[in-house]
Structure 1
Amino acid sequence: RVSKQVGFPVVSVSQSMRLIALYVDGQRRVMEDSAAILSRANQALATLERYKLRLDEVAGTLSALEIEDLVTVRDVCAVAQRLEMVRRIATEIAEYVLELGTDGRLLALQLDELIAGVEPERELVARDYVPEPTARRARTVEEALTELNALTHTELLELPVVARALGYTGSPETLDSAVSPRGYRLLAKVPRLPGAIIDRLVEHFGGLQ
């Protein structure tokens, strides 16, 4: 009640119950012991490491298929799915880092190392593969990323649902259909190649092949 009245966060300390609670915007958040938070954070970090390893595998496969011009919608969805899974677990760990304060410095360094380049990669995949707008269906890169973000955990496990979020129909035939990248993702891996040059190259050639 005090937090609502004054409009500022309020900390409540109960010595008898050994409890610290934070009240912000009408919400109550019990502050846990650092050891308990760190334990959960380490478990989440181990999960992130597994997710990132799998992401690297499917992303590497996608790169090889792009060079051979053998990409299917299924391949794209597998990478988009893994990128979103990594992003979500990283967001959870970032909250633990915030709660831990100075105790979370090492965790923050590990997190930064694991997710380096993930967010740009997520956008580049969308820029490469979100279908061109048509009269019946138009979806921007931002809208596709928002759709992916809005998927539940269960929905994210379904590749047809991921395909629909990206702007495809999601049918079995669509998942196995061929698709060609515009080239943003692979060109971004070229050292010292400015984004403006990449945009002009894609605009000029229209695709990677």
Structure 2
Amino acid sequence: MAPGTPLRDGLDRILAGHTGALVVLGSNAELEAISTGGFAIDVPFSAPALRELAKMDGAIVLSEDGERILAAAVHLSPAASLPTGETGTRHRTAERVARQVGLPTVTVSASMSTISLFTGGPRVVVPRSDELVARAAQALAGIGVHRERLTASLARLTDLEVHDAVTLRDLAHVGQRFEMTNRLADEASTYVAALGVDGRLPALQLRDLIDDLTPLGSLVQRDYVPDDAEAMPFSGLTRLDDQELFDIVLVGRALGFGSDLHLDSPIRPRGLRQLAAVPRLAAGVSARLVGAFGDLPGIAAASHADLMAVDGLTEPAARTLRDTLAHLGAHTAD
């Protein structure tokens, strides 16, 4: 059904020709039991053939994989007792057929210029390609805006971490930005998927915007996850609806910290996010540094001799670590 597929090409041709159609995607014994008339053709599928067959009354039956046209001009008689919210003859028949035989059924409406899909539930109107492109572009623009706000929130968090001044409120703001960006990314992904081959460029743009967010978000959460927590702090934010996500108090509570903490309660980072940015630091050394000194302020205050006592930390890496943290402190002070 996505733009660029042969089936969608055929449906768009029918729509452009201002005719209607009823197409069943697949065949089974239940469909045959309610089918009369028409003629079997069993030929390879092509968009022009679908367009020409739609000029006749009756339904068109395709193979389940959409590779062949099995029959055309078929009269379908689903049970009239099946519930339907549709009023048009074609749509009413399509909904009942989908409910009765369990096969996806597609209608093309000439009067409303729409393509609709029935899968056993309410009708789903298939968006036009230009509508999907517009929605995807809007979602990508929104992600860009929230990405900038997230970057600003992370920069502020870094400044507060260096000066040992982070509060639960500050972490809540960062978590809020991550969740908003992720929700927009999920929405954009549905539009990109629906665009099919036309979604290649938006897909690349989406990937460029969000590819680094998962590892970055993981580092932030590992920095602040409570010792007795069963899940990462940001996981609780998925339970908030869009309106609740704008309430920083609810966001702070959803992070899973103890009830004795309020938004202005101080919390300390372990320092994993900052250590990940230190060049020449071998894998596993960051965790050992946190284990040895407890948190970022402890690591920053450690002497050279104390750092060298950490297993796996080389002399050059220790100097780089101290220089990086000192530069970070000087940069944020500026």
Using the size of structure 2 for normalisation, the TM-score is: 0.54
1:52 aligns with 2:147: yes
> What is the alpha-carbon distance in structure 2 between the residues aligned to residue 149 and residue 192 of structure 1?
36
Q: Which residue of 1 aligns with 2:177?
A: 82
Q: Which residue of 1 aligns with 2:167?
A: 72
Contact kept, 8 Å, 2:235 with 2:255, in 1: the verdict is no
Contact kept, 8 Å, 1:21 with 1:31, in 2: the verdict is yes
Q: Deviations over 1:62-103 (max 9, x none)?
A: 112111211111111111110110000011001000011111
> What is the alpha-carbon distance in structure 1 between the residues aligned to residue 278 and residue 119 of structure 2?
46
Work out the percentage of aligned pairs sharing the same amino acid.
43
Q: Out of 240, 254, 257, which is 1:151 matched to?
A: 240
User: Which stretch of structure 1 is more off in the superposition, 53-62 or 124-133?
Assistant: 124-133
Contact kept, 8 Å, 1:12 with 1:21, in 2: the verdict is yes
Contact kept, 8 Å, 1:126 with 1:166, in 2: the verdict is no
> More relative contact order in 1 or in 2 (CA 8 Å, sep 6+)?
1
Using the size of structure 1 for normalisation, the TM-score is: 0.83
Please list, as runs of the form range in 1=range in 2, the aligned pairs for 1:73-152 lying within 5 A after superposition.
Answer: 73-133=168-228, 139-142=229-232, 144-152=233-241
Q: Which residue of 2 aligns with 1:206?
A: 294
The letter of the residue matching 1:43 is: Q
1:185 aligns with 2:279: no
Contact kept, 8 Å, 2:105 with 2:119, in 1: the verdict is no
> What is the alpha-carbon distance in structure 2 between the residues aligned to residue 25 and residue 197 of structure 1?
55
Aligned residues: 201
Higher strand share: 2
For structure 2, the residue ranges without an aligned partner over 5 or more in a row are 1-95, 298-334
Q: Which residue of 2 aligns with 1:12?
A: 106
> What is the alpha-carbon distance in structure 1 between the residues aligned to residue 140 and residue 289 of structure 2?
38
The two structures, once aligned, show a CA RMSD in angstroms of 2.5
Higher helix share: 1
1:197 aligns with 2:285: yes
